[in-house]
Amino acid sequence: MSRRILFAIFGVLAFIIGSSTIALAPAGGKPEPLPSSNFVVEIDGIASASYMSVEGVCGKMEVIEYRDGTDPNRVTLMPGNAHYGPIILRRGLIDNDELWLWYESNLDYPVDKKSMSIVFMDHGHTEKARYNAHGCWPSAYYIEPLDSNPSGVAVEVIVIQTELIERA
């Protein structure tokens, strides 16, 4: 193949890949970051509720050091096992005990694993990004410290372990 054809093919592929991952602002301006305050959490079988915060949507990979006997002064790094989360959800304590019951159901086997999604929306509440977590189960549940301040709210926290997080 000629160089022109190869460059054309790579250009089209780059355009397709790039256009599917970057949302441009109106009128072709710079990409606009999504607000951190417009999100929805969806958990299989648990009624939708508003959450105050979500943290731990992350992946980490172990690093394995490999040394070749032919070059004892050089270390090669290789990817190891991937780990995800934990995802921590906070919300005002409401008259719904589904999160507690899910936690409680996992005190004995079998573990009740669910899938969940964290959905990011723009200012118009249109879905713009979604992270799906699979093999999720709660490893901790607690109420944040209570305070006699009349303007405060009781907050429940659930820590969720996950086997995989992927961007949809």
For residues 115 and 29, the model is more confident at 115
Across the range 13-20, mean pLDDT stands at 41
What is the reported pLDDT for 60? Answer: 96
Q: Work out the pLDDT band at 130, boundaries 50, 70, 90.
A: very high
Per-residue model confidence (pLDDT) at position 109:
85
* pLDDT: which is higher, 13 or 142: 142
* Domain assignments of the chain as residue spans, ordered by start: 1-32, 33-167
In order, the DSSP letters of 103-141 are HHHTSSSSP--EEEEEEEE-TT--EEEEEEEEEEEEEEE
Residues 159 and 140: beta-carbon distance below 8 Å = yes
pLDDT score of 81 more than 90: yes
pLDDT at res. 12: 39
For 33-167, CATH number?
A: 2.30.110.20
pTM of the entire structure? 0.76
Q: Examine the pLDDT at 24 and tell me if it is beyond 80.
A: no
